[in-house]
Amino acid sequence: MSGSGLYRFSSRMARVPDSFLGELFSVSAQPGVISFAGGLPDADLFDVAGIRDAAEEVFNQEGKSALQYTTTDGYLPLRRYIASRYRSRLGLNADPDEIQIVNGSQQCLDLVAKILLNPGDHVLIERPGYLGAIEAFSFYEPVFNPIPTLEDLAGPSTEAIQDLVAQYHPALWYGIPNSQNPSGMTWPVELRREVAELLDGTGTLLYEDDAFGELFFDGRARDPVKRWLSDQTIMTGSFSKTISPGLRCGWIWAPRSVIIEFNRAKQAADLHSNLLSQMILARYLETVDVDQRIREIAQIYGERCQVMEEIIDDDFPSGTSHTCPEGGMFLMVTLPSGVDSMEIFRQGIKQKVAVMPGTPFYVDGGGIDTIRLNFSSANPDQITEGMDRLSMVIRDMG
């Protein structure tokens, strides 16, 4: 015998969509390719020396403890720091006991779905929605209900939310109000309040993913939906976009009853997150002006986003449009009529430029005329060259 017949995989594996990310990373790594396809922060902005010094201090002062097992909820000084930062940045009264450290906020997607979703449960998700969430939730066999995004609202349709909640009583709504991935759009404060009012008193939990909440180009914090819906909101964050993704350190902040069940699931999955990384990160955060570093990073990303937008406006074919991010790492392009995003991806690789086709972000089969572009990982010269290549590809396709 040969092939997959040797192995009996669970039935759920047949229901999980094929991941596009493996192919994407493979082609993006080819020599000479300028990639706008991934979601990487700029490695040149990592504070290598500062993190190295923090690691040295941890080993010198607490090396034995740092190399030992720890509790599932995570390193208490780091949880206290996160809670304190919610208070100082957003005026929210976060309790360290309601915060748990995870292996990057991506782990939260898996564990939240594990503790909240049964097969057939309804999940609301933005249209387009974050691919990582779609893939993570799919293992638990929910029914996705996409909420259309209205350009004039810069966020999901409240009328659709009201109808879907009333009709399906979803267990969970997953959304990214700040610099949404893939669209780059940010919900206005009026929409956030209205979403809280629509969900208040229903059985639907809001999963508010705030991975990009500190990367606004103007440096101004936006109020989360959790401000008005505290007991019904799970909020997650990450140090991957602001400090280092390699440390694999994120967190969840949720009502205590949710944290208790989440803790049980995490303990079964991996016992605890990397304690050494947590201690290094906590020590690093004590010694650096985090606000200043993040302002500098966000300003650089804003300048790169502007370069990308101007090239699209000036040089791309008629019929091309794009979102206008206020922060984050992505913008989304709508292609001229009749241009297929998958074909743009394939032809782009031949011209040494990689983009992310829009189709994987749509659970209902849409997105054929959209592509997502990442502006954080390429410098302005690379953006200019890569966008020139992409413009030629789209013109040839048109």
Compute the Cα dihedral for 337, 129, 107, 294 and give only its sign. positive
Q: Of the candidates 266, 287, 308, which is a domain's last residue?
A: 287
Q: Which amino acid, residue 376?
A: S
Whether residue 176 sits in one domain with residue 126: yes
Beta bridge partners of 178: none
Residue 109 lies in a domain: yes
Residue showing tokens 């205590």: 256
The per-residue pLDDT for 154 is: 83
The reported pLDDT for the residue numbered 3 is 47
Pick the last residue of a domain from 287, 311, 330: 287
81-106: pLDDT as tens digits? 999 999 999 999 999 999 999 999 99
| pLDDT band of 107, cuts 50, 70, 90 | very high
pLDDT at residue 4 in the model: 57
DSSP tag of 149: E
Q: Based on the domain organization, do 190 and 264 belong to the same domain?
A: yes
**End residue of a domain, out of 236, 268, 287:** 287
pLDDT exceeds 80 at position 139: yes
In a shared domain, residues 319 and 282: no
∠ CA 234-235-238, nearest 5°, is 145
Q: Give the residue with greater pLDDT, 252 vs 8.
A: 252
Instruction: Quote the mean pLDDT of the chain.
Output: 94
Claim to verify: residue 166 and residue 257 sit in the same structural domain? yes
Q: Which residue has the higher pLDDT, 21 or 136?
A: 136
Whether 1 maps to a domain, the answer reads no
The Cα–Cα gap between 193 and 224 comes to: 9
Same domain, 281 and 139: yes
Would you say residue 143 lies in a domain?
yes
pLDDT digits (tens, 9 = 90+) for 248-295: 999 999 999 999 999 999 999 999 999 999 999 999 999 999 999 999
Domain assignment of residue 104, given as a range: 48-287
Q: Is 108 left (phi over 0), alpha (psi -120 to 50) or beta?
A: alpha
To 5 degrees, how large is the angle CA 128–CA 161–CA 256? 95
Q: What is the pLDDT, as a whole number, of residue 84?
A: 97
- If residue 367 lies in a helix (H) or strand (E), which one and from where to where? none
Q: pLDDT tens digit string along 161-220?
A: 999 999 999 999 999 999 999 999 999 999 999 999 999 999 999 999 999 999 999 999
Give CA separation, 95 vs 52, 86, 280, 352, in Å. 30, 10, 22, 48
**212 and 122 assigned to the same domain:** yes
**C-alpha 157, offset from chain centre:** 21
Task: Supply the CATH number for residue 212's domain.
Answer: 3.40.640.10
Residue 18: the pLDDT is 73
Q: Mean pLDDT throughout 359-384? A: 96
Residues 79 and 40 in one domain: no
Please give the tally of structural domains in the chain. Answer: 2
* pLDDT band (50, 70, 90) for residue 19: confident
Q: Tell me, yes or no, whether 334 and 211 share the same domain.
A: no
Residues ≥6 apart with Cβ < 8 Å to 208: 175, 176, 177, 224, 225, 226, 233, 234, 235, 236
Whether 20 and 138 map to the same domain: the answer is no
Same domain, 117 and 190: yes
- Provide the edge-to-edge strand list for the sheet that holds 143-150: 99-102, 250-253, 233-238, 205-209, 172-175, 122-127, 143-150, 155-156
Q: Are residues 118 and 222 in the same domain?
A: yes
Helices H / strands E in the chain, number of each: 12, 14
| Nearest-angstrom CA–CA distance, 121 and 237 | 25
